[in-house]
Amino acid sequence: MKRIVLGSKIHRAAVTESVLDYEGSLGLDGDLMKAAGMIPFEQVHVYNISNGERFSTYLIKAKEGSGTVAVYGAAAHKAKVGDKLIVVSYVLLEEEETEFIVPRIVILDEGNRIKEVK
């Protein structure tokens, strides 16, 4: 049996840009993606702490060190500049692998800089 479990999470990312007229996705600072072990075009789930909205999309790598958290396309209806987000990726594991998984949790400060990695 396979299970879907948390692989990584970026916690309290502040939206820096919300652009409706765009093909769609979530732009993230490349340093944040690397710290969380996320990759370009990976599917992620986004949970908006500020308004309760939830959506799935894929990642686009933004400039490293920029602090960019940009919501593009239809998802821009679900997040505005300043909203706080949780961005998560999940992994598919065999039952026996689940006891060894240690999700990577990246906690950000107010400026989208890494405060802590667990």
Active-site annotation, residues? 25, 58
Residue identified by tokens 């689940």 is 98
Report the distance separating Cα 86 and Cα 3, nearest Å: 21
CA 12, 32, 69, 93 torsion-angle sign:
negative
